[in-house]
């Protein structure tokens, strides 16, 4: 399980990536875990099909099914985006973005052409929800930490641009907090283009709907999510937004023993009197999971399921550099107090004492010694022995 609110921290080197992941086998001692991809379901006969990690197709029978397949980035048909844009949804994306930032600094440092160097030093984030705002803020923080080690890049400076189609950033939080976040980002030199869309992406440039062409080698796409494509194959009713239609107890419409929660389900939001679905956030998904677990247990014992009644108590938007914006039970915080509250909240929610301690140590070490700047792009892609054999052809005698 990836603790996504800490993903920007992992991308920026503030946290060791392994420390934002919770291995399921450590936490779920009483669960029979099967690693694989769900490929379909037949709710009429209570069957689920999956492909195991080693490629075998299996069918599982169930008494009760809880669907929690989450979401994937919502990618629009912007020319060049699929080829040149990068996502920011999982750990691989976060590590790739961090490695790319360091790689770009290396290339820019040695590049003879000024124009090309500028493109390597420009980072564009498209979509100013949580992921975009936290991602651009943390990455800028990281690059400004490490750029001192690159004398030519330091003179030039790096450029960060946040593009948002709506007329303000973070429509999920109150306007005053969003305005504070906007001022803070601008004060740091991050350029914000609201009411603007991405028109096209090339290998070394992004063009906006205003006609502006920005020389940039990195375009991160953080413009919203859509339910995991796997939900379409489960034979369950889907709404206009492709999320699974459920009632206030999260039971799937027309199915007594199927439940759906999290980003993949359109759970009526109690804060909006059930007229709109809950926003796709971890704080909703976690609470929905607990309520559904109780409901399944109650149903098996012949009882009645519980309704989902949670209303958002607060939000945190971490902006790096010991600053954040937050609302908590009606109280609004900005700057360092908000940052401290956000850290405390995440530490409290992270499962396991050892993991909490690791987070605190990462943040404390970073506070005194800056962030780790090691580039680990080769991790997980070691050269094969075959390629090494080719390298030594003609040098070593054949045996």
Ligand X SMILES: Cc1cc2nc3c(=O)[nH]c(=O)nc-3n(C[C@H](O)[C@H](O)[C@H](O)COP(=O)(O)OP(=O)(O)OC[C@H]3O[C@@H](n4cnc5c(N)ncnc54)[C@H](O)[C@@H]3O)c2cc1C
Q: List residues binding ligand X (CB under 6 A).
A: 4-5, 7, 37-38, 68-71, 88-89, 130-131, 228, 230, 262-264, 280-283, 285
Q: Is residue 115 classed as helix, strand or coil in its secondary structure?
A: helix
CA–CA distance, 138 with 159 (Å, rounded to integer): 14
Contact 219, 85 (CB under 8 A): yes
CA–CA distance, 217 with 382 (Å, rounded to integer): 25
- End-to-end CA, the chain: 48
Q: How far is the CB of 231 from ligand X (least distance, A)?
A: 8
For ligand X, the closer CB: 147 or 265:
265
Contact 292, 66 (CB under 8 A): yes
Q: How far is the CB of 229 from ligand X (least distance, A)?
A: 8
b/e per residue 257-273 (b: at least 16 CB within 10 A): bbbbbbbbbbbbbeeee
Q: How far is the CB of 372 from ligand X (least distance, A)?
A: 20
Residues 6+ apart with CB under 8 A from 209: 196, 197, 198, 199
Q: How far is the CB of 186 from ligand X (least distance, A)?
A: 22
What is the number of residues in the chain? 399
Q: How far is the CB of 28 from ligand X (least distance, A)?
A: 13
Surface-to-core class of residue 345, CB atoms within 10 Å of its CB (0-12 exposed, 13-18 middle, 19+ buried): middle
For ligand X, the closer CB: 205 or 278:
278
- Going by their DSSP bridges, the two strands 36-42 and 122-126 should be labelled as unpaired
For ligand X, the closer CB: 80 or 289:
289
Q: How far is the CB of 15 from ligand X (least distance, A)?
A: 13
Q: How far is the CB of 173 from ligand X (least distance, A)?
A: 11
Listed residue (103, 92, 79, 325) closest to 202, CA to CA: 79
For ligand X, the closer CB: 154 or 322:
322
For ligand X, the closer CB: 263 or 362:
263
For ligand X, the closer CB: 208 or 250:
250
Helices 130-146 and 175-187, interaxial angle, to 10°? 20
Q: How far is the CB of 20 from ligand X (least distance, A)?
A: 11
For ligand X, the closer CB: 185 or 285:
285
Q: Which residue is nearest to ligand X (CB)?
A: 262
Contact 282, 289 (CB under 8 A): no
For ligand X, the closer CB: 215 or 270:
270
């Amino acid at each position: 399980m990836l603790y996504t609110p800490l993903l920007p921290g992992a991308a920026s080197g503030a946290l060791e990536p392994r420390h934002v992941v919770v291995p399921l086998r450590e936490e779920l001692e009483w669960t029979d875990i099967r690693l694989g991809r769900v490929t379909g379901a037949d709710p009429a006969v209570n069957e689920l099909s999956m492909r195991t990690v080693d490629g075998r197709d299996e069918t599982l029978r169930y008494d009760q099914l809880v669907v929690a397949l989450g979401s994937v980035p919502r990618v629009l048909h912007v020319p060049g985006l699929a080829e040149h844009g990068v996502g920011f949804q999982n750990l691989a994306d976060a590590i790739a973005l961090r490695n790319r930032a360091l790689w770009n600094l290396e290339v820019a440092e040695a590049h003879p052409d000024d124009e090309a160097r500028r493109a390597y030093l420009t980072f564009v984030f498209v979509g100013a929800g949580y992921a975009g705002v936290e991602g651009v803020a943390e990455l800028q923080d990281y690059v400004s930490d490490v750029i001192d080690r690159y004398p030519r890049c330091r003179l030039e400076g790096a450029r960060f641009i946040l593009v948002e189609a709506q007329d303000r950033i973070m429509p999920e939080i109150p306007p005053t907090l969003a305005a504070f976040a906007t001022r803070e980002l601008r004060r740091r030199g991050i350029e914000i283009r609201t009411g603007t869309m991405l028109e096209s992406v090339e290998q070394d440039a992004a063009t906006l709907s205003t006609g502006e062409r920005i020389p940039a080698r990195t375009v991160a796409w953080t413009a919203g999510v859509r339910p995991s494509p796997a939900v379409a194959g489960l034979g369950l009713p889907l709404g206009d937004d492709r999320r699974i239609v459920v009632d206030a107890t999260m039971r799937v419409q027309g199915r007594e023993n199927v439940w759906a929660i999290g980003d993949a389900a359109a759970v009526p939001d109690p804060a909006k009197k059930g007229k709109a679905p809950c926003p796709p956030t971890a704080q909703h998904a976690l609470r929905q999971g607990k309520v559904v677990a109780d409901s399944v247990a109650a149903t098996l014992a012949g009882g009645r399921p519980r309704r989902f009644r949670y209303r958002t108590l607060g939000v945190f938007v971490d902006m790096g550099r010991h600053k954040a914006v937050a609302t908590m039970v009606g109280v609004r915080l900005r700057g360092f107090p908000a940052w401290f509250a956000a850290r405390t909240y995440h530490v409290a929610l992270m499962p396991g004492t050892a993991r909490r301690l690791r987070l605190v140590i990462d943040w404390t070490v970073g506070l005194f010694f800056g962030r780790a700047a090691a580039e680990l792009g080769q991790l997980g892609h070691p050269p094969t022995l075959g390629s090494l054999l080719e390298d030594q052809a003609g040098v070593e005698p054949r045996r």
